[in-house]
Structure 1
């Protein structure tokens, strides 16, 4: 199988370790009413002796760029921080980690300005079938499971000695090289791999009392039930957290929020920004009605 190499922007580091990086092409239909609109995102599955991490390559690069920009501004003028939303931050914003050897699984995702760490309380229960086929250069075998509100078909290969896979999937006698749900709305296919030296990220330290939307802050550890409650609250009032954060920050430092309208016009007036973001959020709820794990958003 042809290996795919990508140049990635890494943050400031204090140590380096070796990891196996697997590249998955993720195809998904975010709007169930428009099945012709199939989106694609390159996802990374990094595996080392301690566990694995699954996340979007585009978001990783965008976050690294934003972090470098923020650190530069903090050095030059920490009292006047200008944060602009990136045009292409990646379509997939969540990250999934698994801790070996017990495969304790966490979903990291955001609701508005809050970052959440949600521990998974269910394990994929697999039915291994005799069907076999070749995926890329790997001999693979079929398995099925019901997970997160979907029926999934996976193909795993014992040629790759990892009982892991993309998203929250694991527990088969080899790496999952392809997995797709019954409706064809979500599929992840292994398209490349390599061994890399990965840097350990250093947390950016913000001035006292400053919170940046989408950056920094500790993850809020909650269970699925608590996350569902937080999600429903966000759907009812998408800009509540941001309004509260803006009021808090304006008491201490000047923070400018910017966004763009549908016609490309840049706006920075807080009230206009909030109106535009609420409009975009509500449009997003309608278009993104087909999540990979529908049970989590009920």
Structure 2
């Protein structure tokens, strides 16, 4: 049963990528403002991070889980002392973004990675792109926060983008998949303002790891990435979103489903239903993807 409980913790908190390794990194904090629903004016905000490491790579991800490491340490200590499970969802915020995006220097191969369940094992799936942005660098300049920036435009994913970059920070990188300007991207948004990233600050990270305390504790990195074609990735991930526990359900007996969980309300079956709803709520919360043309392509198929 311990293995089963671990899977639910992993499912709720773990969106990890590669195995732990000692690095240093420059961490850049971007506030992402976005419209999760196409037919709504409602906007949402989340802090995301771009970590550029000394091992010739960068990792972009939601900062929510990592930001809650101190809370998780307190929760885990309480579990150790009491010997009872606790429902972490009552004290933690849910991330807005589950994927991680890796870029490798200097060639800037872009890898998009997300996690699915494979039985009781979290599995990383992803696809890679040799992505080249056709930037049009303009003479317009603007002060954004403390940064002196210059304007550039491009088209990607069915959207027109305007970026402001600073040559004062000599990384040719940026949030999400964006890169390739002669300096770090400070701000980038599409013409309809569905997605907008603005750099809020940065700091140096020693003994850097790309995953959070709970991911490390649960050994929930998901192992090596299973590389798929983009089409196969989209199909596999779409199937997972429709039925997150499809690979787990056949492995759980009715007897296991009816067992109560010490320290938590309800049975294993109740917890599965709750987790399944959380999964579906998470994935159904956004029908306005960054890459708009990908959603259009799906509808045509």
TM-score, reference length from structure 2: 0.71
Q: In the alignment, which of 217, 222, 239 is matched to residue 233 of structure 1?
A: 239
Instruction: For residue 240 of structure 1, give the secondary structure of its aligned residue in structure 2.
Output: coil
Instruction: For residue 92 of structure 1, give the secondary structure of its aligned residue in structure 2.
Output: coil
Distance in 2 of aligned mates of 1:194 and 1:48: 12
Q: Which residue of 2 aligns with 1:224?
A: 230
Q: Which residue of 2 aligns with 1:54?
A: 60
Distance in 2 of aligned mates of 1:17 and 1:235: 33
Asked if structure 1 preserves the Cα contact closer than 8 Å seen for 2:110 and 2:131, the reply is no
Q: CA deviation at 1:271?
A: 3.6
Shift of the 255–179 alpha-carbon distance from structure 1 to 2, 3 Å rule, reads farther
Q: Which residue of 2 aligns with 1:107?
A: 112
Q: In the alignment, which of 188, 203, 214 is matched to residue 179 of structure 1?
A: 188
- Structure 2, unmatched stretches of 5+, are 1-18
Q: In the alignment, which of 27, 33, 54 is matched to residue 27 of structure 1?
A: 33
Q: In the alignment, which of 95, 98, 110 is matched to residue 93 of structure 1?
A: 98
More strand by share: 1
Backbone CA RMSD of aligned residues: 3.8
TM-score, reference length from structure 1: 0.72
How many residues were matched structurally? 264
Q: CA deviation at 1:144?
A: 1.6
Q: In the alignment, which of 163, 179, 198 is matched to residue 154 of structure 1?
A: 163
Asked if structure 1 preserves the Cα contact closer than 8 Å seen for 2:99 and 2:114, the reply is yes
Instruction: For residue 133 of structure 2, give the secondary structure of its aligned residue in structure 1.
Output: coil
Shift of the 222–172 alpha-carbon distance from structure 1 to 2, 3 Å rule, reads same
Q: Which residue of 1 aligns with 2:285?
A: 287
- Structure 1, unmatched stretches of 5+, are 1-12, 205-211, 259-265
Please, which moves more after superposition, 80-89 or 180-189?
Answer: 80-89
Q: CA deviation at 1:114?
A: 3.8
Please, which moves more after superposition, 150-159 or 231-240?
Answer: 231-240
Shift of the 125–216 alpha-carbon distance from structure 1 to 2, 3 Å rule, reads same
Instruction: For residue 25 of structure 2, give the secondary structure of its aligned residue in structure 1.
Output: strand
Distance in 2 of aligned mates of 1:293 and 1:67: 36
Instruction: For residue 247 of structure 2, give the secondary structure of its aligned residue in structure 1.
Output: helix
Shift of the 23–267 alpha-carbon distance from structure 1 to 2, 3 Å rule, reads same
More helix by share: 2
Q: Does 1:126 align with 2:116?
A: no
Distance in 1 of aligned mates of 2:20 and 2:238: 40
Asked if structure 2 preserves the Cα contact closer than 8 Å seen for 1:25 and 1:43, the reply is yes
Q: Does 1:45 align with 2:50?
A: yes
Q: CA deviation at 1:82?
A: 5.0
Please, which moves more after superposition, 230-239 or 24-33?
Answer: 230-239
